[in-house]
Amino acid sequence: MPPFLLLLLFTSSFIHGHAQSPPQTQGFISMLITQNGLDFVKDLLVKKAISSIVSLRLPNIEKGTRIPFLGNVYLVLSDVTIYEIDVASSVVKPGESGISIVGSGVSCNLSMSWYYAYSTWIGPVEISDQGLAHVQVEGMEVELSLGLENQEGSLDLKLKNCDSSVKDISIKLDGGASWLYQGIIDAFEGNIGSAVENAITKKLGNGISKLDSYLKSLPKEVPVDDHSSLNVTIINDVLLSESSVGFETNGLFIQRNDSLSIPNLLHKNTKLPILCTNSSKMLAITLDEAVFNSASALYYDAKFMHWIVDQIPDQSLLNTAGWRFIIPQLYKKYPNHRMNLNISLSSPPVVEISNQKAGVHIFADLTIDVLEEDEVIPVACISLMIQASGLVKINGNNLVGTIRLDDFGMSLKWSNIGNLRMFLIQPAIWTIIETVFLPYANSHLSKGLPLPIIHGFTLQDAEIILSTSKVGVCSDVSFAESNKHFLPFIM
């Protein structure tokens, strides 16, 4: 699943101030795989399983039998190999007790060598013969019953039952005495059927075991950048219904390489929210605002929301001469001095998401610094209250976005150069926000945050749905056949 994570700092709801630590039993990123998604994964599994069974070598089959008029016959089939297999139809059925996958109309072709020897009742003379045989198995049905549970924060996939049954077998001999054809069929038909059933059942069982190991090896945190990761520990019971499989992850931002504690699981059977307007989508991901609350608090506490601006498009605003008619006393006290703008967020951003849009409220302090030789002199500080709205979209497996300025307010926090006329300063501050602050924020938002998607899978035709305090992603998926990390049991 990333890998399933996530997502856009400005596209969910942050609370003003530090985010409180929510209960560990609550999951804040939920994922729902619909019936169409399960069918897609099932088709992929069936295809890979077929490729793993082709060229499968079966154990030798030996049997002694008595044939009228011939006596005791010793028969051996060796080099028994499945060289072709076809599955006419397959279905996946989720339910409250687990998941079943049924393949019907399975046929396979086998090649083998045969050898027989017998001693006649006429005398102690041994007669032997050998050749090749081609076997066709028809009407086979294979059923796997799987259990899927949360085990200490990882998905636990268990094979509860694996059955297969063969309906018809036909054997064609090459070489040897054709008058023994019917005798060989009578002697080996049941043995061949049992060997095929056992071999396929064992191969699928080993494959499920390896897939379970792969799921358990998936990381419980997904890197977002050099400083933060998303905690994707599975929370609560896996939700199984007649048409979907759902699960919740912790979903909160944490510092990179922090040790993850296994939460006390709250076993419950709730219905995961699915917001998709198109019910045919394979996958639905819902993110609670607490995800972004945690991101806001983490980056704020790590002091990443602080910038020294010394280059802007209108470079005249970084010299006191550019402010001579706006703040005359600044120019009078520091004529033609270079300046820096020191921008620091005074609290974590507050993002509000509704059915119509994602909006962000940013509270920042802008300090005007004058540079005099090697000295930096703070001369005034202006408090800013910025209102912006955002656009959210999908780029690959990342959630990306842009924000635009809607409005802002300002007030003087302190000044060492006397009172400032804020209505004169406002156009200059608007220009600084539009040309410096927003482009900087958008450059980071355009990189996006990774959704929790397993390596090798890619979102397709994704749609974003905003609702109260939540962001929903509804999408189909594709799979890169070149991926060697997923489905290791085919190797």
Proportion of the chain above pLDDT 90, given as a percent: 46
> Can you say whether residue 330 is alpha, beta or left, with left for phi > 0 and alpha for psi between -120 and 50 degrees?
alpha
CB of 167 closer than 8 Å to CB of 142? no
Task: Categorize the per-residue pLDDT at 69 as very low, low, confident or very high, splitting at 50, 70 and 90.
Answer: low
Q: How far apart are CA 414 and CA 81, in angstroms?
A: 85
Could you give the C-alpha distances from 76 to 45, 59, 116, 479, 490, in angstroms and in order? 34, 11, 6, 44, 30
Q: Which of 12-16, 41-45, 226-230 has maximum average pLDDT? A: 41-45
Task: For residue 136, give the nearest of 88, 98, 86 by alpha carbon.
Answer: 86
* Residue 380 one-letter amino acid: A
Secondary structure percentages of the chain, helix, strand, coil, to 5: 25, 45, 30
Q: Say whether pLDDT at 79 is over 50.
A: yes
For range 259-280, the mean pLDDT: 58
Distant-in-sequence, close-in-space partners of 238: CB < 8 Å, separation ≥ 6 = 148, 149, 150, 155, 245, 246, 247
Q: Say whether pLDDT at 68 is over 90.
A: no
Instruction: For residue range 336-382, list pLDDT tens digits in order.
Output: 999 999 999 999 888 788 887 888 889 999 999 999 988 999 999 99
Q: How far apart are CA 147 and CA 130, in angstroms?
A: 46
263 vs 355: which has the higher pLDDT: 355
Instruction: For residue range 37-66, list pLDDT tens digits in order.
Output: 999 999 999 998 998 899 899 999 888 777
Proportion of the chain above pLDDT 70, given as a percent: 84
pLDDT score, position 123: 57
Please list the residues that pair with 93 across neighbouring strands: 100
Question: How long is the chain?
Answer: 491
CB of 347 closer than 8 Å to CB of 16? yes
Q: Say whether pLDDT at 427 is over 90.
A: yes
224 vs 485: which has the higher pLDDT: 224
pLDDT score, position 419: 92
For range 385-413, the mean pLDDT: 91
Q: Say whether pLDDT at 148 is over 90.
A: yes
117 vs 261: which has the higher pLDDT: 117
Q: Say whether pLDDT at 180 is over 80.
A: no
pLDDT score, position 181: 57
Instruction: For residue range 94-133, list pLDDT tens digits in order.
Output: 988 899 999 999 999 999 998 888 776 655 667 788 888 8
